[in-house]
Amino acid sequence: MRVSDYELLYDLPDGEYDGRGIDGVRTVTIRAGRSLEVMCHPIVKLTPEARREARERRSTPAMMRLNARNAERHMMRLMEMNFTSRAWVVTGTYAYPSEDYGMCNLEELADEYEKRGLPWELERMRMDVRNFLNKLKRRMPKGSGLRWIVRHEEGKNPPAEGLPPKYHWHALIEGEGVTREMIDSCWPHGHTTCEAFEMRDDGPARLAKYFCKQKAEGRTGKSWWSHSRNLKAPVPKVSERRLSRRRLARIAADIQHSGREIFEALYPGYKLVELPDVRYSDFVSGAYIYARMRRRD
């Protein structure tokens, strides 16, 4: 089974560690930049009931929550792996009319939308952002790479009946010589805001959570994200010898009191960002543990 399948089964925050039926313990580590994620779970022989439960949960709110959590983690790893403190966090908006929509003629507003080149659908904004990135790349020194992650967002509701929802986008952008002024001048449809990318502490995780907020909150507005092809993804490492069943049981029992000491001793040079998440299951034995750490300065 994949790690995500095991995680689906372990969704209870409280419980007791039961080692019956466990064939061993699998430890998965993912290193991306200064970040280290550790996932420990029992290797279990699933009963027919547990297999049916895993299949059912793939189409339930539990699966939706897991997908949102995995999307955040994936984006965080890309940010940690490919960007530095020289990157810019950018928000781009359109110059929408400022009139009171309830007091205006909608046909005139629609004409104004056309004149200003405002998007009527998400695909149009994607094209605008793609043109913006191409223009930015042409201004950079030849041969230097432009790295980016872009999230396109559609507002939940149109400002008035007959009009499309308002659109905007967020991006993490890094490239040689890229400045605030260059970014703003390459986006002709409105204005941009730029902030320096905070790499210290939990900056990448917070930004990844913000980029994925619509998916995590179950909001109805559409969103879509993409990244440049030159980004690298970390390769997980799997071990079935790192922890014994007895050691995993002790860690699960002591996580509240000694979780920091345990993991920082297991992975010298790293510090815990927060206490590890320990989950249990009604269907299979043992416990699932997820820990996120960062390399010490």
pLDDT single digits (tens) 145-170:
899 999 999 887 777 777 788 899 99
Q: Which residue has the higher pLDDT, 234 or 59?
A: 234
- What is the spatial distance between Cα 249 and Cα 255, in angstroms, rounded to a whole number? 10
The predicted structure's pLDDT at residue 220: 46
Highest mean pLDDT among 17-31, 51-65, 123-137, 199-213: 123-137
Q: What is the mean pLDDT of residues 26-47?
A: 91
Can you spell out the DSSP letters for 39-106?
Answer: EEEEEE---HHHHHHHHHHTTSHHHHHHHHHHHHHHHHHHHHHH--TT-EEEEEE-----S-GGGS-H
Torsion from C-alpha of 55, 241, 279, 65, nearest 10 degrees: -50
Task: Give the lowest-confidence range in 32-41, 71-80, 156-165, 255-264.
Answer: 156-165
What is the model's pTM?
0.87
pLDDT at 214 over 70: no
- pLDDT tens profile 255-272: 989 999 999 999 999 999
Is residue 240 exposed (0-12), middle (13-18) or buried (19+ Cβ within 10 Å)? Answer: exposed
Confidence of residue 112 (pLDDT cuts 50, 70, 90): confident
Cα–Cα distance measured from residue 242 to residue 94, given in angstroms and rounded to the nearest whole number: 52
Which position has the higher pLDDT, 9 or 190?
A: 190
More confident residue, 109 or 138: 138
- Please provide the average confidence, as pLDDT, over all residues in the chain: 87
Check whether 100 has a pLDDT greater than 70: no
> What is the pLDDT confidence band of residue 67, given thresholds at 50, 70 and 90?
confident
Q: Are 17 and 283 in contact (CB under 8 A)?
A: no
